[in-house]
Amino acid sequence: MANAALDNSTRISRWLTLMAALRHPKTGYVLLFGFASGLPYALLLGTLYAWLTDAKVDVETMGVFSLIGLAYAFKFLWSPALDRVDIPLLRRLGKRKQWIVTAQLLLGAILVLLSLLNPLNALGLFSLLAGIGAFASATQDVVIDAWRVDVADEVATIDILSTIYQMGYRASALVGGALALFMAERLGWPTVYASMGAILLAVGFVGLFAPDAERSAATLAGERANLETLRQPGQIEPRIRGWALSAVALLWGWALVTVLVFMVRSLAATPENRPDSTEFVSTMGPLIVIATVLLPGLIAGWLETMRKQGRHVLTEAAPIRGGIDIALDHGYRALILPLAEIIGRLKWAAVLVIVLVLTYRITDAIWGSFAYPFYLGELKYTKDEVAIASKFFGVGALLVGLALGGTLLTVIGRMTTLTLGAVIAALTNLLYADLAIGGARMQAASDFTGFTWLAGQFGADDRMARLMLTIGAENIAVGIAGAAFVAYLSSIVAKGYSAVQYALLSSLTLLVGTLGRPALGQMIAERGYYDVFIFTTLIGLFAVLLCVMEWVRQARSGRAENAPPPEPELF
């Protein structure tokens, strides 16, 4: 009886805590910021391609246009600066709010400006504004993630704030996807983007009143102590660290400039004079991956090896002489040390891990930008039909996939689920391949399973039923793969560097897919969607092979299936 009463008291206490948190003003703002974080992503990397399809922009051009998504792939590069740099005249808004509000107001203005342009006649300016918007959106994501951690307290806990944030983010996908498509069907795309821009401008104004949190004296002291550790005996000499950081910065800078130059040349040229996308990806793509991933990893591993061998290390403490030294230490700790830790811990297995991370989500990442052109342009569905199938039904299927993925992780283990996710994510491309040649097999599957009858009870015809079944199957597969992949990444990172390592690895998942989109757009234009879906299926099977190799590696190393993330070695 006493234990039952205690359990009831605990449950009541938890419910009271939850209700108190939900009434807290911070939960309202985090819901708003989650919405503001997801809305530009949906509008710039998803719905915008429906507008480009209606404007008769060719698929190959859309492939080049999709390179604006690299802003999300490389956001880890400038994230350390957001923690240190203040915007002139806006510092008093707060450490995080100055960036959040600025990004939201800039995004709102960009969406309004886009609504005034014809994407076909002003593609260069249109793409420039969209690229700036993607950069501002990625920046906003970084700062809102930090803000959410900063403002969490005993009442509005980080777990509750994170959950509310996800609710806002998912709601924005419906507004920026389904609602935008419904509005475009009736009011036109300029009205849609002007309205969405007005929403973000309003969010930016309301954000002025959001709470902000400054770093405590204890936090600042801890950060200074961490930086001072880099200048203690046994650590790499600042001169060597400076050269290494400069080399990595040059490599990343070269990669970004190379992609930007290709993007500008492609969008500014007429279709007949445009640089060959396939040639660019086949020649420069590997070099970009080498410059952004392989060489920085080798440099970090070389530094870690020297430190352990006692070469080029300090024999006495080195003083900090000025702002340049502070910037060097911050950059090195933020970008090089997390890479050095994971390379030093995994050694040559890091190559397998990085290649797996680069390719695991490529099957859905590489063709995602062409989904609307496929539905609207190739299959001739209406915007209302696509909104219902891909957003309402599709989001529901994705949530089912995530729940299944979480269950499978518990029942059959992480690596089994990861491999299964790679298999089904690859094979669902074959469902789209069938749609591309008429959808006879998908129609038969829909009829056989009774899905056609079920969809018909809600007013959907046979054609709509097979689209919904295809999108639903893919989203369930993506949900399972996504849940397994997040669990895998979380198991790879070290606790002390989890934020930076996770951001780096999750950013890499977008890199190859984004770089490959221009060539995929050219392939669609030249060979059609069917061949593309067969090709993406084969790419996905390569990820399956890598999953099996990683599974074997972990089994041989004796690592427990559900072992917690490793503790980092102290530097």
Q: Does residue 492 have a pLDDT over 70?
A: yes
Residue boundaries of the structural domains of the chain:
10-214, 225-347, 348-571
Mean pLDDT on 512-539: 85
Mean pLDDT on 363-390: 86
Element (H, E) at 293: none
Q: Which CATH number fits domain 348-571: 3.30.450.70, 3.40.50.620, 2.60.40.420, 1.20.1250.20?
A: 1.20.1250.20
Q: Does residue 228 have a pLDDT over 90?
A: no
Give how far the C-alpha of residue 316 lies from the chain's centroid of Cα atoms, to the nearest Å: 42
The end-to-end CA distance of the chain, in Å, is 53
d(CA 418, CA 483): 8
Q: Does residue 309 have a pLDDT over 80?
A: yes
- Confidence at residue 570, expressed as pLDDT on a 0 to 100 scale: 43
Alpha helices in 188-276 (DSSP H): 189-207, 217-229, 238-268
Better pLDDT: 214 or 364:
364
Average pLDDT, the chain: 82
Up-side HSE of residue 465: CA atoms within 13 Å toward CB?
23
Highest mean pLDDT, choosing among 78-92, 168-182, 510-524: 168-182
Q: Does residue 498 have a pLDDT over 80?
A: no
- Confidence at residue 169, expressed as pLDDT on a 0 to 100 scale: 82
Q: Does residue 52 have a pLDDT over 50?
A: yes
Q: Of the candidates 457, 469, 395, 388, which has an alpha carbon nearest to the alpha carbon of residue 185?
A: 388
- Count of CB atoms situated within 10 Å of the CB of 29: 26
Per-residue pLDDT reduced to its tens digit, 394-451:
888 888 888 888 888 888 888 999 999 999 999 999 999 999 999 999 999 999 999 9
Three-class SS of residue 230? coil
Contacts of 163 (CB under 8 A, 6+ apart): none
Look up residue 37 and give its amino acid: S
> Do 10-214 and 348-571 show the same overall fold?
yes
Better pLDDT: 217 or 253:
253
pLDDT class of 505 with cuts at 50, 70, 90: confident
Least confident of 141-155, 178-192, 306-320, 418-432: 141-155
Least confident of 2-16, 25-39, 326-340, 430-444: 2-16
Three-class SS of residue 182? helix
Mean pLDDT on 239-259: 88
Give me 548's structure tokens.
């099996």
d(CA 379, CA 530): 12
- Count of CB atoms situated within 10 Å of the CB of 450: 9
Are the C-beta atoms of 425 and 540 separated by less than 8 Å? yes
d(CA 462, CA 454): 10
pLDDT class of 6 with cuts at 50, 70, 90: very low
Better pLDDT: 153 or 448:
448
d(CA 275, CA 262): 8
- Confidence at residue 566, expressed as pLDDT on a 0 to 100 scale: 53
CATH hierarchy code of domain 10-214: 1.20.1250.20
* Burial group, residue 257, by CB count within 10 angstroms (0-12, 13-18, 19+): exposed
Q: Which residue has the tokens 């009886």?
A: 1
Q: Of the candidates 507, 561, 239, 497, which has an alpha carbon nearest to the alpha carbon of residue 343?
A: 497
Give me 135's structure tokens.
């950069």
Please state, in angstroms and as integers, the Cα–Cα distance from residue 30 to each residue in 14, 38, 164, 322, 336, following that order.
21, 12, 7, 37, 31
d(CA 167, CA 171): 6
Three-class SS of residue 546? helix
- Confidence at residue 222, expressed as pLDDT on a 0 to 100 scale: 53
Give how far the C-alpha of residue 203 lies from the chain's centroid of Cα atoms, to the nearest Å: 22
